[in-house]
Each structure stands twice: as C-alpha cells, then as structure tokens.
C-alpha cells in the first residue's frame, strides 16, 4: 500500500475508522491465537519426551526446547523484518506457515526414526512458536499508550483456549496417531501443523487493511516525513528498550528451563501422560489466561511495578517446585501455575516498554530483534535444563531458576535510577 492509497487515506482522515480497525484487529488476532496456542503446546508437552524416547538418553531431553526456541530466534528476526516492510499480515502468515511445515516434519521424523530430521524439523517448528508470540504486537499498532498493555493482553489471552486444550488432548492425539501408524508422542505435532496453518490463513485472509501499514501512514502524516526514516531508529534505542528486553529475556530463560524438564521429572515419579498434560495445560493457561488482568495492571500501575512482581512470582515458583515433592501433583500444579503467571507479568510489562519506546519507523524491526534474544534465552534455558537435571537434580534447577529471577530487581532499579 502506498501513502496516497485511497484506503489508507480514508483511515488517515477518520478517527472513527481507526478505532474500528483497532477493535477489528484485536478480534482477528485473538481468533488466530486460538489456533496458534494449540500449535505451540505440542513442543512444550511432548517435545522432551519424544527426544528422550528416540535418543534413549535424558541428558539431551532439553534439546527439543533448545532447537525450536533457536529456530524461533531466526524466525523472530525474519518475521520482524518482513512485517516492517510488508506489514503484519504477510510476516505473520509466513511465520505460521513455516511452523506448520516443521510440525509435520516432526511427525515424519518420528515415523522414520530419523534423529537428524527430528532436530531439523524442531528448528523449523520454532517459527510457529515465535510467530504466535509476535502476533501480540499487531494489536498495539493502533493502540494509544494507555491501551497498549490491554491490547497485548487481549491477543495473548486468546492463546489460552488452544494452548490449554492441546496438552489435555495428549492421550487422545496419541491414540489417533497410533491408529494411522504414527508413534503416539508425535500425535500432538499433527494438531500443531494443522493449527499453525489455520492461524496463518486467518491472518492472511482477514487482516485487511494491515494495521501496521495504517499506523505507518498515520505517523508519516503527522511528522510530514516518510515512514521509513532509518535515521530516527537510534534515538529510540535507549534504556526503555534495553530494560523491556532484559525483563522478557530473563523471564523466558527461567520459565523455559523449568518447564522443559517438568514432564521428564513427572515421568520419573510415576505420573502418567494424562497428569503431565494436566500440569502443562494449567501452566500454559497461567501463561496466557491472566493477561486481561495483567494488561490492566500494567497500564494502571506501571510497567516497572509489574516487572518486579514477575520476579517475585517466579521466585515462588522455583521455591515450591524445588522443595516440594515430585510425587505430589498439587505441588507441581501450583509451581507450574506460578511459573506461568510470572512469565505473563514479565512478558506484558516488557512488551509495553518496547512499544512505548519505539516508533513506526523502527517498531516491527526492533520488536523482531528483541524477540530474537528472547528466543535465544529460551534456547539456552532448554539446552542447559537437561544437563543440570542430569548432573544435579530437578530441585537444583528449580531453585536456581527461582533465585535467578530476582535479577529483575536490579534491572528495574537501574532503569529508574537512569530515568
């Protein structure tokens, strides 16, 4: 779309049309997130167990999380660049399509018993998980500063429906997979492939006009300059972006590390797949369901206060998981629920800081670049978690993650001091 496009001009000239597009964008993104949530839950729930089954070693059980989060890092960069140039619609569709290809590749790898294809497919599958996370930004493109936390939260809370349903369908999907000659643990990836494809198609078909392109045109109209003002970018790369990025990176590292090894930990204590699916389903629900409240709290009480709350909540999750009994399902549920809530607080407060401190000239690119580091943090957490548990214990991993989350406090202190 060009600046003088009649459609763009009609939105520039009408505040009411802008408000309508903002609401419509939130609805479309939320609808797509229902499918996206179902897709991302597969890797979380059975990725480590599938690798353990195929490789016959626990030390590499954290590798799937590392691979698909590493793949999501590359996808975050590419989706961010594509969105900056062509709009959210194109960038998000291509990201979800790549995630679907990866999910179906995992299924094929399980059928063939190919570890190489499994690792390659998990890497590509990461594009879907990354794109699902980046979709949260689409709702903020036309939001005012006081609406941004809420806009992020509405997009995220819709993920809950698919993300909670996915883990709780593990047994059913396993039976379905066996009925068509596919290993049971690959069943959730069949759902993931279909879900990612549907999420991408919803955005590609319905997200018209593109909210980011409209936001760019509005910014250009206001400033009297072209939207791609590359020289404006360094002015916005300051402590707000750094702080927002560090908040999300740290919460992602802690969450992925503990979450990745929980299914393996539960299997060692005799919990069946249904119980594992329940715990992970509650965890994923806690990651997304509180978002509506979190968005209000972030807008009402500030990004920094909620970032501190994230650190304290993650500490509680680590202490309960570390000192609690692995045989007690209630302990695991509470620990993983707090882990999800802490991640949610950190992600929404950090995302809001990023949006606050960027312009349309560099926003999508910056968001993509920040999500690269978030994904790398997840990859690090996933890769190291299996080694820590193999060399020490799940207790040590959980306690270390909880204590590490307290680093959020000096980060926000630095931000406030400089501010």
Residue ranges per domain, the chain?
6-418
3-class DSSP state for residue 176? helix
CB 130 within 8 A of CB 94: no
Residue 58 DSSP symbol: S
Report the C-alpha gap between 284 and 282 in whole angstroms.
6
3-class DSSP state for residue 403? helix
Which pLDDT score is estimated for 235? 44
Of 393, 407, 386, 353, the residue nearest 145 (C-alpha): 353
CB 206 within 8 A of CB 212: no
Token pair, residue 7, equals 């459609």
- CA–CA distances in Å: residue 388 to residues 51, 130, 268, 395: 17, 25, 16, 10
CB 191 within 8 A of CB 39: yes
CB 52 within 8 A of CB 61: yes
Instruction: List helix spans (H) across 56-114.
Output: 63-86, 88-112
Report the C-alpha gap between 73 and 371 in whole angstroms.
7
The series of mean pLDDT values per 10 residues for the chain, 419 residues long, is: 69 85 90 85 71 71 73 88 90 95 92 88 89 84 79 79 72 85 86 92 92 85 52 56 92 91 85 84 85 86 91 95 87 94 94 85 84 84 82 90 90 75
**pTM, to two decimals:** 0.75
Which pLDDT score is estimated for 234? 46
3-class DSSP state for residue 114? coil
Which pLDDT score is estimated for 226? 42
Which pLDDT score is estimated for 398? 92
Of 165, 67, 191, the residue nearest 125 (C-alpha): 67
Return the CATH number of 6-418, one of 3.40.50.720, 1.20.1250.20, 1.10.3720.10, 3.20.20.70: 1.20.1250.20
**CA torsion angle 133 135 141 145 (round to 10):** -40
CB 166 within 8 A of CB 194: no
3-class DSSP state for residue 93? helix
Token pair, residue 167, equals 């883990």
44-45-49 Cα angle (round to 5): 105
395-373-87 Cα angle (round to 5): 135
Report the C-alpha gap between 353 and 43 in whole angstroms.
29
């Amino acid at each position: 779309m060009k600046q003088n496009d009649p459609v763009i001009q009609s939105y520039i000239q009408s505040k009411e049309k802008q408000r309508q597009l903002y609401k419509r964008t939130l609805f479309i993104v939320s609808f797509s997130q229902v499918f996206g949530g179902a897709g991302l839950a597969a890797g979380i729930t059975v990725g480590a167990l599938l690798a353990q089954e195929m490789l016959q070693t626990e030390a590499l059980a954290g590798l799937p999380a590392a691979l698909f989060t590493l793949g999501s890092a590359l996808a975050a960069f590419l989706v961010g660049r594509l969105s900056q140039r062509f709009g959210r619609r194109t960038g998000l569709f291509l990201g979800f399509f790549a995630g679907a290809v990866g999910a179906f590749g995992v299924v094929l790898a399980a059928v063939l018993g190919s570890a190489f294809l499994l690792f390659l497919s998990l890497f590509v599958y990461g594009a879907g998980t990354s794109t699902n996370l980046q979709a949260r930004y689409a709702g903020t493109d036309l939001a005012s500063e006081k609406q941004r936390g809420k806009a992020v939260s509405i997009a995220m809370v819709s993920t809950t429906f698919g993300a909670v349903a996915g883990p709780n369908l593990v047994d059913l999907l396993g039976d379905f997979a066996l009925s068509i000659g596919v290993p049971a643990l690959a069943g959730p990836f069949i759902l993931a492939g279909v879900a990612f494809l549907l999420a991408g198609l919803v955005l590609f078909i319905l997200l018209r006009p593109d909210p980011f392109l409209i936001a760019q045109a509005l910014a250009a109209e206001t400033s009297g300059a072209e939207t791609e003002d590359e020289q404006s970018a360094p002015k916005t790369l300051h402590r707000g972006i750094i702080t927002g990025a560090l908040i999300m990176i740290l919460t992602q590292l802690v969450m992925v590390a503990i979450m990745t090894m929980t299914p393996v930990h539960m299997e060692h204590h005799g919990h069946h797949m249904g119980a594992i699916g329940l715990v992970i389903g509650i965890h994923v629900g806690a990651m997304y369901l509180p978002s509506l409240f979190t968005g209000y709290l972030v807008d009402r009480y500030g990004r920094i206060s909620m970032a501190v709350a994230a650190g304290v909540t993650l500490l509680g999750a680590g202490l309960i998981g570390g000192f609690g009994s692995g045989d007690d399902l209630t302990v695991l549920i509470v620990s993983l629920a707090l882990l999800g809530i802490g991640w949610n607080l950190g992600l929404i407060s950090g995302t809001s800081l990023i949006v606050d401190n960027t312009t349309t000239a560099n926003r999508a690119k910056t968001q993509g670049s920040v999500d690269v580091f978030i994904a790398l943090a997840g990859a690090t957490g996933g890769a190291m978690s299996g080694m820590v548990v193999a060399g020490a214990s799940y207790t040590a991993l959980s306690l270390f993650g909880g204590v590490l989350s307290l680093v959020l406090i000096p980060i926000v202190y630095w931000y406030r001091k400089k501010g």
